[in-house]
């Protein structure tokens, strides 16, 4: 399928499965399965906001968008998670507000990670004060929330991690029975740090999990008897493999990625970015986002709506002779 984005910047991209109907900026999707169906939580970037502010304000000031599905493939927008009270005290929570446009507040929410701990849901959310217009110089923190129903969330407070420049949490229970939280530490050259917990109540710093080339958006999952971590290198996703979810080895060498394909803007197929994986029986689905009509220019500087807009896609993941492969 070929679409000329210069003629129709709102045209759907090939094989996209979801677009945010408010600002057309669905990014960082996290997908979970619950008793009542599939839920998607995502960063609702303000890609088509008529006046988001200067610089990179359009990627800030974002709420968490929510979509629902019966099969994980056909999605409908539900609404946004909105603060239930002003301020950042421990009593403040988030509430699913259906239908209406997001409430304008001077705070930024990014990249939710949602897990079930066996008793309740937990969300690890990146929070940033205000609506920054530049990338640097603004503290970021990862804050924990809990919920019984995925719609009403109680704020438990920020985690004490390696710096005050941390985003993009990923949490999993590992083979040794301990929980680990991986995250991007921008103060450590944008590499992946890790913290460890026995009970999800207290966390202990455990150094660097993935170093080397700068990256973001770690996600960890088990498939076909092995553990895998995906990281977004802004040119596709690096794959790291482990037997214990503690020691990691990069798949294919320093330059290897999956979902690294891109074409001219008119084709609408671009590199895969920050996503999450749901394992269903022997199949794994990778939900990720792209900027379908992006032309390769610096996104932070572009005023072109068609370059800013994003869409959620899904790929099938398989392990073939020990190697993780992705099929768009």
Per-residue pLDDT tens over the stretch 190-212: 999 999 999 999 999 999 999 99
Q: Using CB atoms within 10 A of its CB, is residue 253 exposed (0-12), middle (13-18) or buried (19+)?
A: exposed
pLDDT of residue 294: 82
Q: What is the DSSP letter of 101?
A: P
In angstroms, the CA 239 to CA 279 distance is 16
**For residues 239-265, average pLDDT:** 95
**pLDDT tens-digit profile of 75-124?**
999 999 999 877 656 568 999 999 877 777 778 999 999 999 999 999 99
User: Range with the lowest mean pLDDT among 63-67, 148-152, 201-205, 268-272?
Assistant: 268-272
Domains of the chain, earliest start first: 26-327 (2.115.10.20)
In angstroms, the CA 196 to CA 86 distance is 31
Count the helix, strand and coil residues of the chain and give each as a percent rounded to the nearest 5.
5, 50, 45
Q: Among residues 65, 61, 174, which one has the least CA distance to residue 127?
A: 61
Neighbours of 261 (CB within 10 A): 13
Neighbours of 118 (CB within 10 A): 7
pLDDT of residue 4: 47
Kindly report the pTM of this predicted structure.
Answer: 0.95
Q: Which residues make beta-bridge pairs with 80?
A: 65, 97
In angstroms, the CA 30 to CA 149 distance is 16
In angstroms, the CA 72 to CA 186 distance is 32
Tokens of 114: 């949602």
Angle at the Cα of 58 from the Cα atoms of 162 and 129, rounded to 5 degrees: 40
């Amino acid at each position: 399928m070929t679409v000329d984005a210069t003629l129709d910047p709102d045209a759907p991209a090939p094989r996209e499965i979801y677009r945010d109907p408010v600002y057309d900026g669905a990014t960082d999707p996290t997908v979970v399965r619950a008793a009542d169906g599939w839920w998607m939580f995502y960063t609702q970037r303000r890609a088509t906001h008529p006046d988001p502010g200067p610089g990179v304000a359009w990627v800030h000031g974002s709420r968490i968008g929510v979509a629902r599905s019966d099969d994980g493939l056909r999605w409908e927008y539900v609404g946004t998670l909105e603060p239930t009270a002003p301020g950042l005290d421990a009593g403040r929570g988030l509430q699913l507000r259906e239908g209406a446009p997001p409430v304008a507040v001077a705070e930024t929410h990014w990249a939710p990670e949602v897990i079930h701990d066996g008793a309740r849901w937990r969300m690890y959310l990146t929070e940033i004060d205000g609506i920054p217009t530049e990338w640097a110089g603004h503290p970021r923190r990862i804050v924990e929330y809990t919920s019984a129903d995925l719609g009403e969330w109680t704020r438990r407070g920020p985690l004490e991690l390696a710096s005050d420049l941390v985003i993009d949490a990923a949490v999993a229970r590992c083979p040794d029975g301990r929980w680990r939280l991986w995250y991007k530490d921008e103060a450590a050259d944008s590499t992946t740090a890790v913290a460890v917990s026995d009970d999800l109540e207290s966390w202990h710093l455990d150094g660097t999990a993935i170093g080397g080339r700068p990256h973001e958006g770690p996600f960890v999952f088990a498939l076909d008897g092995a553990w895998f971590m995906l990281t977004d290198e802004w040119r596709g996703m690096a794959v790291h493999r482990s037997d214990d979810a503690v020691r990691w080895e990069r798949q294919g060498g320093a330059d290897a990625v999956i979902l690294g394909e891109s074409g001219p803007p008119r084709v609408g197929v671009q590199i895969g970015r920050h996503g999450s994986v749901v394992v269903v029986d022997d199949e794994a689905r990778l939900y990720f986002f792209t900027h379908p009509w992006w032309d390769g220019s610096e996104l932070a500087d572009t005023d072109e709506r068609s370059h800013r807009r994003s869409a959620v896609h899904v790929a099938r993941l398989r392990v073939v002779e020990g190697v993780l492969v992705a099929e768009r």
